[in-house]
Amino acid sequence: MQRRRWKVRDVVELALILGGLILIGSPFFLLGGHFATHPPPQQQSATTARPARKKYAPPKKQTLLRREPSWTPREPAYGTLCGVLDAWDPHAPDVPPGYVDALPRFDAARPEDRTAAAAYRDAELPFILYNVSALRRATARWTRAYLRDRLAKTSYKVEESVAGRSFVYYAKDERAPAGWTAPQVAVAMTPRELEEALDARNRSRLYYATISASEGRRQAWIRDDLPFLAPLDKPRPDAVPGDAWWRDAEGGSDEPLSAHFFMRPGSTRRWKGINCRLGMRGVQQTAHYDGKRNWIAMIAGAKRYVLQPPRACAALELLGRGHPSERHASFDWADPAERRRRAGGPFCDAPAVEVLVRESDLLYLPSYWFHYIVSATRSVQCNARTGLSRKREGWTDIERCGFGAPD
């Protein structure tokens, strides 16, 4: 049998036939592979089936929480008195790391902050106001040279501590108990001598100068530099009759808050003047309360104020009526031994907060609030009082302490 010889033409024809078959069969081949790896839905197992769609359920009715405005007056978050004093030793005036003020701070340049400050003022709660234009100007103006020039008087009465660092007010016309001696003595100093004394490195003697309210009343420059602490003769035409404060206390473009925000109407006759105090770093003022609302302006430096509400009165062991230093603390709060003796008792557990009043800050202190003061730096501070608080629970607490109803 003779073999057939393959010609070139035969090879080409065979290749064309095979290529055509491949082109015709490739789609079926590809589809077969797809169905092999992706079976149709009816062939999928129950484990791979899609989950059934959940039935629609209407959303539950949500309770909307009412948010009180940020300026709603609230009492401060109190600690205990001994806890506050132990955490920051009064004998160490430097501000400790991590210190945080416990009182709200309001910016007088912001309308919403002025509204908040007015709400706290009307609620008789303490707060700090800053960015008061007139106070900022006084802070810049009251340099040492300016004070030397303004206090150009032959000499001033300056108090010198007899023992310890605490200064306490005492009335000279009260009958002193047996064995009592004045807590400080008065020395005469010229303005320059006072300046040198306040800068002295010898801390065995501490000095504290007061420009009394009566002196401040005569010193026109103090009143001119601090107009927001001056009295008001007549109410504004738009004042609400019977209000303790004017609601509209807006000033001009240069001073957003006028004196009407600070001083009570009709305060001229009862206004005693502006007190100004110049003190060394580390000076302490014994805890006490004042019967009138108090605006405290920090001109230079900084002071630490430890505050207690009027309801703490019974726990604070105050000197009673008739004592030269009545309504003041009867012992040195800075003495840790005295605090240890009272551990676990009413004094140590009394509610207390603290605030650092810095340069150009203005502290509002309502009637009957107790305040214990430590000068964190050399400082200049002025204050004026205006009217009595009519918040009944405040003066009731004071009355229960044996100090009588307010005048």
Q: In this predicted structure, what is the pLDDT of residue 391?
A: 67
Averaged pLDDT for residues 259-274: 66
Residue 242 predicted with pLDDT over 50: no
Residue 245 predicted with pLDDT over 70: no
Pairing state of beta strands 105-107 and 127-130? Answer: parallel
Q: In this predicted structure, what is the pLDDT of residue 89?
A: 95
Eight-class DSSP state of 392? H
Averaged pLDDT for residues 148-162: 80
Q: When comparing pLDDT for 275 and 302, which is higher?
A: 302
In the structure encoding, which two tokens stand for residue 308, read together?
């207690």
Query: Which range is least confidently modeled, 20-24, 173-177, 249-253, 308-312?
Result: 249-253
Q: In this predicted structure, what is the pLDDT of residue 182?
A: 80
In sequence order, which residues have a C-beta less than 8 Å from that of residue 210 and are 6 or more positions away?
A: 157, 159, 275, 276, 277, 278
As a whole number of angstroms, the distance between CA 370 and CA 291 comes to 10
Q: In this predicted structure, what is the pLDDT of residue 30?
A: 44
What is the chain's length? Answer: 407
Q: In this predicted structure, what is the pLDDT of residue 243?
A: 37
Q: Are 162 and 184 in contact (CB under 8 A)?
A: yes
Q: When comparing pLDDT for 47 and 71, which is higher?
A: 71
pTM over 0.85: no
In sequence order, which residues have a C-beta less than 8 Å from that of residue 221 and are 6 or more positions away?
A: 150
Residue of 394, 338, 341, 347 whose CA lies nearest to 366: 394
Q: In this predicted structure, what is the pLDDT of residue 29?
A: 44
Mean pLDDT, the chain, integer: 78
Q: In this predicted structure, what is the pLDDT of residue 268?
A: 52
User: C-alpha angle 181/381/226, rounded to 5°?
Assistant: 130
Alpha helices in 287-407, H assignment, sequence order: 336-341, 346-349, 392-398
* Lookup result for tokens 């035409």: 237
Q: What is the pLDDT of residues 308-320, one digit of tens each?
A: 999 999 999 999 8
Structural domains of the chain sorted by starting position, each given as residue range(s) with its CATH number in brackets: 79-403 (2.60.120.10)
